[in-house]
Amino acid sequence: MRGIQLSLNQTQKIRLQRALQQLESLSSKVNSNASVTVADTIPINNEDSILKGHGTSERGGDVVATLCGVVERVNKLVYVRTLRARYKPEVGDIIVGRVVEVAQKRWKLEINFSQDAVLMLSSMNLPDGIQRRRTALDELNMRYIFEENDVVCAEVRNFQHDGTLQLQARSQKYGKLEKGQLLKVPPYLVKRQKHHFHHLDEYDVDVILGCNGFIWVGEHVDVRESMVEDQTENAGEQNSRSNKSLEDTPIETRRRICQIANAIRVLSNLGFNITVEVILEAVNLSSKLDCGVDEMLGPEFHVALAEREAQRRSQSKKKG
């Protein structure tokens, strides 16, 4: 249960324990990967030319783990993937972050990394959409684009020589995120996939699964609108328009956003990998059980979701 605290009655404790044990047994049968702690021996079955990767070492002819985590194998490469480590960026990752500082020609974003990432003014589309050199006026108007505490979606561009992580937002799908919730889950629960932007048609809600463990759930937008309509307007007018846009979000849409966000919270509490398919199953289960949005965070829904996931994996194994 990843250390979460729930007020379970005795029946719920037994049901949850049974479901988790079933999930663990299914995982051990389906996956040859094993959980290891420091100094555990990693079985290699006397294979030749094994490449020892991150988190492994050779001792007395055996390959031993130097980290706690899960043994991963890619062809002949054997390494240990740590579970509770911070996010480790890779070029091309889709991330969601929060602006913590507006500096000279750059914004600094908190992205669940060991240091803040940098989004340069030159690495994003300007509000007018014209490709041109950035001027002193553009720099003066940076706060009209992003300011502190704004939630931003971007892509990992590269690492500088000094270790600084640089981002880019040169596509219409990137930029400021509004009318939604920002969730934080352990990064290892979000796997790198081909698509990280999802539109849930049935609920008319957008979900962005950030590789850094930051997940955005918000009202659907067809096309990213310009971040500002007029760079010369003052901050007071900006704030007025922003507050009005929030009030325009329908109550039903807000409820759906909260429902999906709570489903993700429960999946994170249970330690399940978070994909759009699993999220939809959790939301459908809450509707089937007639579980209110506030009740989804209670112990009964946690137990029911664990049982449903154990049943799903068991059926999937039988079909396989």
- pLDDT confidence tier of residue 271, bands split at 50, 70 and 90: confident
Architecture of the 33-85 domain = Beta Barrel (2.40)
**Which of 149-163, 197-211, 235-249 is least confident?**
235-249
Residue 58: beta bridge partners?
A: 63
d(CA 55, CA 150): 37
Average pLDDT over residues 162-172: 89
d(CA 230, CA 237): 10
pLDDT for position 46: 65
Please name the residues in contact with 21: beta carbons below 8 A apart, sequence gap of 6 or more: none
| Predicted confidence (pLDDT) at residue 287 exceeds the cutoff of 90 | yes
pLDDT for position 255: 95
3-state SS, residue 100:
strand
Structural domain boundaries in the chain: 33-85, 94-249
- pLDDT confidence tier of residue 230, bands split at 50, 70 and 90: very low
Nearest to 286 by CA among 263, 261, 268: 263
First to last CA, the chain: 28
| Predicted confidence (pLDDT) at residue 30 exceeds the cutoff of 50 | no
Distance of CA 154 to the CA centre of its chain: 13
Same fold, 33-85 and 94-249: yes
For the stretch 82-140, pLDDT in tens is: 766 678 898 999 999 999 999 999 999 999 998 999 999 999 887 766 677 888 898 89
Residues constituting the chain: 320
| Predicted confidence (pLDDT) at residue 241 exceeds the cutoff of 60 | no
Please name the residues in contact with 59: beta carbons below 8 A apart, sequence gap of 6 or more: none
Give 286's Cβ-side CA count (13 Å radius).
26
- Say what angle helices 251-270 and 299-319 make with each other, to 10 degrees: 70
What is the rounded average pLDDT for all residues in the chain? 83
d(CA 9, CA 121): 54
Output 283 or 26, whichever has higher pLDDT. Answer: 283
pLDDT for position 245: 53
**Which of 44-48, 51-55, 60-64, 214-218 is least confident?**
44-48
Average pLDDT over residues 211-215: 95
| Predicted confidence (pLDDT) at residue 148 exceeds the cutoff of 90 | yes
pLDDT for position 229: 42
pLDDT for position 61: 78
Average pLDDT over residues 160-168: 90
- pLDDT confidence tier of residue 233, bands split at 50, 70 and 90: very low
Average pLDDT over residues 282-289: 95
CATH, domain range 94-249: 2.40.50.140
| Predicted confidence (pLDDT) at residue 268 exceeds the cutoff of 80 | yes
| Predicted confidence (pLDDT) at residue 262 exceeds the cutoff of 50 | yes
Please name the residues in contact with 154: beta carbons below 8 A apart, sequence gap of 6 or more: 95, 97, 109, 117, 119, 124, 167, 168, 169, 174
- pLDDT confidence tier of residue 36, bands split at 50, 70 and 90: confident
d(CA 42, CA 63): 6
- pLDDT confidence tier of residue 238, bands split at 50, 70 and 90: very low
pLDDT for position 47: 62
